[in-house]
Amino acid sequence: MPVRTSRVVSFDDLRDLLTATGARLRDAVPLAELTTLRVGGPATVAECASTDALVATVRELDAAGIPVLLIAGGSNLLIADDGFDGVVVRIATEGVEIVGDPDRGEVAECSVIAEAGANWDAVVAATVEAGYGGLECLSGIPGSAGATPVQNVGAYGVEVASLLRRVRLLDRATGEIRWVEPAELGFGYRTSILKHSAAAVVLAVEFALRADGSSAPLGYRELANALGAAEGESRPAALVREAVLRLRAGKGMVLDAADHDTWSAGSFFTNPVIPDADVAAVRAAIASHVGPDVAVPTFPAENGVKFSAGWLIERAGFAKGFPGEGSPARLSTKHTLALTNRGAATATDLVTLARRVRDGVAERFGIRLEPEPVTVGVSL
């Protein structure tokens, strides 16, 4: 990787540097405008509407040693109130192509290729409207297509890792562009080798589709019940998408400018996976506070047991809407796993609330919750 040395570069110098790249340069842009949490201070933004512009811009900035922050949908970012001392490269590529046999042959022959900046829910909608299945359980998730493999986005029993065919990456150290197979991306629960790493830029993604228009097998009880199906069954992708959107909207998880419960980064904490050796002690700690007869929601996980972060937060004393009316940053009024901006919150307000919730759960149950969003210029 090129060494990034922080230095002051004038806007005029940046404009000269990036003239030939095709990027559109803007100065002193409030980053709150580019994130779903709607917080973040000012920065210079280079908007790239084509993959060629994106590659050229990143290469020029890297060669000049100028710090780079990549933003597309901005749905998983918590950026400091001071902004970013470098250049924000806004990924605004939007191409979507569905590749499939018009006679609807083998499922393996059907896929969708989306450029990194394409709106993710629009990608899902396009595949469902074209009569293909596979992505419907990931409906309504805010953000861009290129961000989905970075943190192995998942919902309603489906993860990106199980659907992804390949990712097109720009290697920032070598300048090489190539398609990468899922096995190379080190997927885990809400993570991959791309997360918290500046080594590569996602340029495009390709996902497998189901040619017959059926959904992925329903692996989440709430969704299966909403569709009157048994877990493991499939339903038409269009029906599943409608159900997913209803469920997410009911939890404030579908973007709506008029609803401050959606001014969030989605689930702020990941569900903690407790190693098998520690599960008994955690269960004992929970029982001592909530009682031995209270059912504790858990899920199987590799080398351990996954506990519900939202359940732990609520049982630790943090109710929906905490800390209450008048607070600029609050837990969602619809569920306790989202931290929300009520209209005037700062990054500092959100960090303060996140620490309070995290520390309260740790004190009560001995479990340290890990944040899901990527932080820029702030520490949790």
Question: Which residues are known to be catalytic?
Answer: 190, 267, 372
Q: What is the DSSP letter of 305?
A: E
H-helix segments, the chain: 11-18, 51-63, 120-129, 221-226, 237-250, 276-290, 309-315, 347-365
- Given its phi and psi angles, is residue 83 left (phi above 0), alpha (psi -120 to 50 degrees) or beta? left
Q: Which residues pair with 376 in a beta bridge?
A: 79
List the one residue out of 379, 376, 380 whose CA is nearest residue 39.
Answer: 376
Cβ atoms of 161 and 138 closer than 8 Å = no
Cβ atoms of 338 and 264 closer than 8 Å = yes
Spatial distance between the Cα atoms of 322 and 354, rounded to a whole number of angstroms: 11
Q: Within the chain, how many helices (H) and strands (E) appear?
A: 8, 18
User: Which amino acid is located at 61 in the chain?
Assistant: L
Alpha-carbon dihedral 233, 136, 204, 262, rounded to 10 degrees: -130
Residue written as token pair 């042959």: 105
Spatial distance between the Cα atoms of 255 and 267, rounded to a whole number of angstroms: 13
